[in-house]
Structure 1
Amino acid sequence: MSAFQDKVAIVTGAGQGIGLEICRQLVAAGARVVLNDQDETLAVEGAASIDPIGEQCMALAGDCSDARLIRAMVQTAVDRFGKLDIVVANAGITLFGDFFTYTPEAFQRVMQVNLAGTFFLAQAAANQMVRQGGGGSMLLMSSVTGHQAHKDLAAYGMSKAAIQMLARNLVVELSPHGININSIAPGATLTERTLGDPEYEATWQRITPMGRAATVQDIGQAALFLVSDGARHITGQTLVIDGGWSCVSPSPY
């Protein structure tokens, strides 16, 4: 329960779903966490559900694709908890759309949140980790759609594949400072959003080799390992967490 004692983390897009579960597991293991979400209500309620007192988990609402908010978030972590050890760039958006009619506005929004938000959070966090010394860990949120084609997700899959390349490329930049960086690529996962589709769970149970979609706990446990001291010599890698779906890739449609 103390594997992350004295560690300070930022997790973006964490008002619900996978991000919230990662925060919950980090706090349970002893970390202090800045929980970010664009939706202020989700951020505040999510942090309170983990730590009603606010000593180990604080909410910070805002659009983490905004470079100014990113810098403020890193500074807030340092001001409140004294340092920054771990960053989980979980925030991202999915905008489905037919390739032939996909709009420039939708494309730019996906790239701004998924790519620019991730890139500049990694940049701001890395600068802080270098200033304070002692290294750190970063985890980027990719997707199985960065490995396998998925109907109506050309822009999203493109952004998630790019995130995997960012994790690989930053090995060159970050390793000399003792900072490791990886990404995870979840497949079908049961969250508040996906369970809004009444067919979702049954569909993925049928086509996933392990016989079920992932839970947020499945993804959270893998995330915690990759930002733990036990994974310090793992860097530049992407871990696919999809119950074997990408090995066979049957379409859900």
Structure 2
Amino acid sequence: MNFNNKVAIVTGAGQGIGFEICRQLVAGGATVLLNDVDAELANNAAATINSDGGKSCVALPGDSSDISFINQIVDAAVNQYGSLDIVIANAGITLFGDFATYSPEAFNKVLQVNLGGSFFMAQVASNKMKLQPQGGSILFTSSVVGHQALKSLACYAMTKAALEMLAKNLVLELSPFKITVNTIAPGATLTERTMLEEDYERVWSEITPMGRPAYVSDIANTALFLVSDGARHITGQSLIVDGGWTSVSPLPYGIK
């Protein structure tokens, strides 16, 4: 996919899925503003991408759920590079907890990052995209748990389902300006974080119909399609990338 002359923001991209999305965007010709709340991760990720032959990945560390920082990163894209064509709101946190004892502090933090950050990033970015004749593309990162319940993930799952409804609502708001809004819902994926979990790859290989969890490239490939010119007539949709797991939904680790 050709992303020459495109300018993109990707949040939560210091490692894992977000990093691979940035890597592929740069390889396709885009200029990418790579965000992560962890400054060391963000800087190292951008340096790694640029050392692989790219020259167009810029680290912008900061809290993507903070409205002042959202304005800063969007302004940086437009003021320094002339446009903002793609926004991938990938940043999110998972705070497991039993529903009966889940704390207000955890609840508010998950909502602030997963929903607030995505909502206001889309708001600020789309207000810039509206001024561009070519419009733009916005992509939210949801999850299979927005479709299938898993224990101890009530709050997280709620935010992911909400992002999919947000994308549908924004079709009404943004389609007249040639701005597409879609959602990708990854299933179990091998990342730096999940590979720290005991037996993660074995368990998800056994219960995923395609015989393995996703690689970050599986998710990134799908994300890039949804923000590419080849998907300009796709909006308000959520695409599940889970090797078929939600079709049968066996629970991992003996969870009941």
TM range (shorter): over 0.9
Unaligned runs of 5+ in 2: none
* Other-structure match for 2:135: 135
Does the 8 A contact of 1:48 with 1:54 survive in 2? no
Mean Cα deviation higher: 76-85 or 165-174: 76-85
SS of residue paired to 2:9: strand
Match of 2:20 in 1: 21
CA distance in 1, matches of 2:20, 2:54: 17
Taking the TM superposition and a 5 Å limit, the aligned residue runs for 1:157-236 are: 157-236=157-236
Report if the CA contact (8 A) 1:47-1:54 is conserved.
no
Verify: 1:48 aligned to 2:47, yes or no: yes
Q: In structure 2, what is the Cα distance between the partners aligned to 1:81 and 1:135?
A: 16
State the distance in 2 between where 1:210 and 1:80 align: 44
* Residue identity in the other structure for 2:17: I
Q: The residue matched to 1:37 in structure 2 has which SS?
A: coil
Query: Which residue of structure 1 aligns with residue 156 of structure 2?
Result: 156
Q: What residue in structure 2 maps to residue 146 of structure 1?
A: 146
> Per the alignment, in what secondary structure is the counterpart of residue 84 of structure 1?
coil
Query: How far apart, CA to CA, are the structure 1 residues paired with 2:168 and 2:62?
Result: 28
Tell me, yes or no, if the aligned pair for 1:34 and 1:57 is still in contact at 8 Å.
Answer: yes
Query: What's the CA shift for 1:131?
Result: 2.0
- Give the match for residue 238 of structure 2: 238
Q: How does 1:52-71 map to 2 (within 5 A)?
A: 52=51, 55-71=55-71
**Whole-angstrom CA distance in 2 between matches of 1:123 and 1:133:** 18
Deviation sequence 1:126-164 (CA, Å, 0-9, x none): 001112332100100000000000010000000000000
**Partner of residue 101, structure 2:** 101
Amino acid at match of 2:203: T
Query: Which letter maps to 2:10?
Result: V
Q: Which has the higher mean CA deviation after the structures are superposed, 222-231 or 47-56?
A: 47-56
TM superposition score normalised by structure 2 = 0.97
Q: Is the 8 A contact 1:9 1:33 kept in 2?
A: yes
- In the alignment, structure 1 segments of 5+ residues that lack a partner are none
Opposite residue 22 of structure 1, the aligned amino acid is I
Quote how far apart the aligned CAs of 1:248 are.
0.4
Q: Report how far residue 120 of structure 1 moved.
A: 0.2
Moved more, 127-136 or 195-204: 127-136
Decide whether the 8 Å contact of 2:26 with 2:54 is kept in 1: no
Q: 2:207 & 2:131 partners in 1: Cα distance?
A: 47
Cα distance between partner residues in 2 of 1:176 and 1:36: 29
1:169 aligned partner, one-letter code: N
State percent identity of aligned pairs: 65
User: Counterpart of 1:124 in structure 2: which amino acid?
Assistant: V
Contact 1:39/1:61 (8 A) holds in 2: yes
Distance 1:209 1:29 in 2: 31
- Pick which of 159-168 and 123-132 moved more: 123-132
Partners of 2:29 and 2:215 in 1: CA distance: 22
Counterparts of residues 24-35 of structure 1 (less than 5 Å): 24-35=23-34
